Amino acid sequence: MAHKVEILLREYLDIHRPVHWLFEGADGGAYSERSVQSVFIAAKERSGINPLATTHTLRHSFATHLLEKGMDLRNIQELLGHESSRTTEIYTHITKKSWDRIKSPLDDLDI
């Protein structure tokens, strides 16, 4: 887990003491899909990010950033819960940022 996020989550857990879900609704149950969308819409409006962004955009952005940081596509597939690698492969056409880090095996030859 990212160290910065861990610190924030520990503070959150100390304050809110969730019982079953990390982020619990008012009744202690899981947030509904609609509630998550409402929270996202409010945050999106306050931040001024792309007004067309959706909660699913967060998932795509996270996967794309992992790929750009060099995470193996198979690990991203597992993290996102994709059964097929083809579903995860959509992220490979999104980013070309990591291409400059590709090193040819031929460069390792001692010639």
pLDDT of residue 108: 78
pLDDT of residue 95: 63
Which range is least confidently modeled, 6-10, 25-29, 56-60, 99-103? 99-103
Which residue has 């400059």 as its token pair? 100
Residue 97 pLDDT greater than 80, yes or no = no
Give the pLDDT mean for 93-104: 66
Give per-residue pLDDT as tens, 39-95: 999 999 999 989 999 998 888 888 888 888 888 889 999 999 999 988 888 877 666
Interatomic CA distance for residues 79 and 56, integer angstroms = 15
In this prediction the pTM is 0.64
